[in-house]
Amino acid sequence: RVLSLELNKDRDVERIHESGINTLDIEPVEGRYMLSGESDGVIVLYDLENLTRKPSYTCKALFSVGKSHPDVHKFSVETVQWYPRDTGMFTSSSFDKTLKIWDTNTLQPADIFYFEGTVYSHHMSPVATQHCLIAVGTKSPKVQLCDLKSGSSSHILQGHRQEVLAVSWSPRHEYVLATGSADGRVKLWDVRRASGCLSTLDQHNGEKSKASSEAANTAHNGRVNGLCYTSDGLHLLTIGTDDRMRLWNSSTGENTLVNYGKVCNESWKGLKFAISCGCNPEFAFVPYGSTIAVYTIFTGELITVLRGHYSTVNCCVFQPHFQELYSGSKDCNILAWIPAPREPVLDDISEKSLPQQHLNPAYEDAWSSSDDEG
């Protein structure tokens, strides 16, 4: 299904945004509701479900935190994320130096965290049961941890030398966090430990000569502005402005040396790419100029390039239930990439002699044209 992803002319996402879209998130509970955040602070919530039962439909915007909302972000929204356990709450962070915790039902902020610098990225653990920490990457080299329970952001992880552009909790170990910085480093942390840092990933796997110690222990020879764990948490994929993407063994910290070729990346802020879930092999969907490049993660092969946006793609998100992809761009559009329906194979029998039931039920026309449904 992923190999047959295409821009679907039967599915539209209602066009609400008037400026570029930086971030998308689909809630993990039902996989039905999607959040988007844009460059002028607006957040929109979409329902991806087809309620009309017609083959062609538009994903409707249910509501938005628009310009006239008293608590709208003043500057660009860089990250939106659903609370991992239910859809009653979502989070957003922005260049206005705030992280906001929203009550979905009232559209009011339940809590607001303030920072000294621009917020590039934040993330809540998809698996945590023992803590409610939100990791936040800002203009400061210190990684901030905000505690939803106490409402304070007292916990700090120190070790980076420049701004933190990307943060991601492990989907396997609830206390393990990965962070990527403009200093070229990717660090893995155990937030229970006093020193915090477990390891600093080294692209040369420790084999570089000691003479050039300055470049030692960097994951990329440029800013690290994107990172994403595989769904099993065993590997971490990172992307940097050195036009490289690297795959790491997350338990040993080893660079697996998969070669993805040149992955052009000129973004000065965080780049939101996605990894498939439940596919074999797994794929990475990476914004690449005005296109999305699709790679197989473990071989590095560029499978296909999805073209449809008119301007820079900033983010994409994978919907695992139906293996669909949604992407957001500077062109103000959200596009839906849906697997092409397969033609039923007719085994040398003339089509007329085939009873209808022989169609695979998954591909039968689910849209009833009869009036007895109403």
Question: What is the pTM for the complete model shown?
Answer: 0.89
Residue 335 lies in a domain: yes
Residue 296 lies in a domain: yes
Residue 27 lies in a domain: yes
**Residues 259, 264, 269, 271: is their CA dihedral positive or negative?**
negative
Residue 266 sits at the vertex; the CA angle it makes with 136 and 159, to the nearest 5 degrees, is 35
Question: How far from 126 is each of 6, 133, 172, 357, 366, CA to CA, in Å?
Answer: 29, 11, 9, 42, 33
Residue 374 lies in a domain: no
CA–CA separation, 90 and 350 (whole Å): 54
Long-range contacts made by residues 152-161, C-beta under 8 angstroms, separation at least 24?
153/113, 153/115, 155/191, 157/187, 157/189, 157/191, 157/196, 157/197, 158/196, 159/187, 159/196, 159/197, 159/200, 160/185, 160/187, 161/185
Query: What is the CATH classification number for the domain harbouring 210?
Result: 2.130.10.10
What's the chain's Rg over C-alpha atoms?
Answer: 22
Q: List the one residue out of 135, 118, 23, 11 whose CA is nearest residue 74.
A: 118
Residue 370 lies in a domain: no
Residue 320 lies in a domain: yes
Residue 313 lies in a domain: yes
Which residue range(s) make up the domain with 269? 2-339
Q: List the one residue out of 156, 97, 99, 152 whose CA is nearest residue 124.
A: 99
Residue 93 lies in a domain: yes
- Specify the number of domains making up the chain: 1
Beta partners for residue 200, in sequence order: 187
pLDDT by residue for the chain (374 residues), tens only, comes to: 888 999 988 899 999 998 999 999 999 999 999 999 999 999 999 999 998 888 899 999 999 999 999 999 999 999 999 999 999 999 999 999 999 999 999 999 999 999 999 999 999 999 999 999 999 999 999 999 999 988 887 789 999 999 999 999 999 999 999 999 999 999 999 999 877 899 999 999 988 655 455 556 899 999 999 999 999 999 999 999 999 999 999 999 999 999 999 999 888 889 999 999 988 899 999 999 999 999 999 999 999 999 999 999 999 999 999 999 999 999 999 999 999 877 655 555 444 444 444 545 454 555 544 455 44
